[in-house]
Amino acid sequence: MAISAIKVLVVDDSAFMRLLISDILNADKDLEVIDTASDGKIAIEKTQELQPDVVVLDMNMGNHDGLHAIKGIMKARPTPILILSSVGNSSLEPIFEGFNLGAVDYLNKPDTKQKNLRQISSEIIKKTKQVSNANLASLLSKRKKENINPHVFSKELNYDIIAIGSSTGGPTAVEEVIKHLPSNLTVPVLIVQHMPENFIPAFVARLDKITSLKVIVGHPNIKPAAGMIIVAPAHANMIISDDKKKKIAFTDEVFRDFNNPSVNAMMLSVAKQYGGRTIGVILTGMGKDGALGLKAIKDAGGHTIAQSKETCTIFGMPKAAGDVGQSTSLYH
């Protein structure tokens, strides 16, 4: 029995871009563009009528923009959304707001859209397929949660560091984790989030606003300290230095599953330097990055946590972490 193609609705205010994006997607046998829309209002209506598997959505569209579309689609007929827009070239806040409203992932259009969009054809196809498999129930449930945990933390904590890795769907998941950390956290937190390089400073600034803890971008020679949250930059693989100083460093080593930034790079170094006094966490994401690192933390005697399938946007990375054989707690 033949497998049906993934049905795509393309939303862009430019007729040329709608045609070009449709052409790129239809070139893949697993994808079928069933229709297009020129603004957010029409996108909401066509999503209800045609029931696509995924919506590929621009953000800048006059009166009924991408945020209007995301909000309306999630209310009328929740559908996985990939934001494909050049808005990230000037401001990232609309993208993060889109994530909070329920969009799954983002891909940046080049500055000169018509000239260069075909240069990222393979990425557009890959991301569209990934987003179509997203668990929307988990995304929508995260938006309703509030931090009801008292901000207290035992000084007798048996761990010295927390290492977190995530990818697709991760920005929202990471925000939820950070919001629930106590204000008197006595250990540092390292975060590797698969994300374009220009996103990291805005992501860090956003996290810094939602917690009383200090959130910074990692750079060489920083000494991880209590209550400090260090987010890996996206141009290098961040590690803990292989010496007694235990400072942030970068490595030129290439990792099979993902690079710049690599979750495995960070977690393998943390396991080596902190051993059993490590808490390792793998959140939502596509692929296998982090599985080897989390196993190393477990083998060293640390505590390992993988996000549950029910709450993951994409269950790839947590599943891979479980498949390599370690016993983990499930984060809901």
**Alpha-carbon span 66 to 134, nearest angstrom:** 19
How far is Cα 60 from Cα 14, in angstroms, rounded to an integer? 10
Contact 6, 53 (CB under 8 A): yes
Report whether 80 contacts 53 (CB < 8 A): yes
- Of the residues 194, 303, 323, 327, which is catalytic? 194
Closest to 52 (Cα-Cα) out of 125, 139, 130, 132: 132
Would you call 289 a catalytic residue per the annotation?
yes
Q: Is 156 exposed, middle or buried (0-12, 13-18, 19+ CB in 10 A)?
A: exposed
Report the Cα 36 to chain-centroid distance in Å: 27
Please confirm, yes or no, whether 58 is among the known catalytic residues: no
**Which of 22, 132, 166, 167 is flagged as catalytic?**
167
Active site residue 111: no
Report the catalytic residues: 167, 194, 289
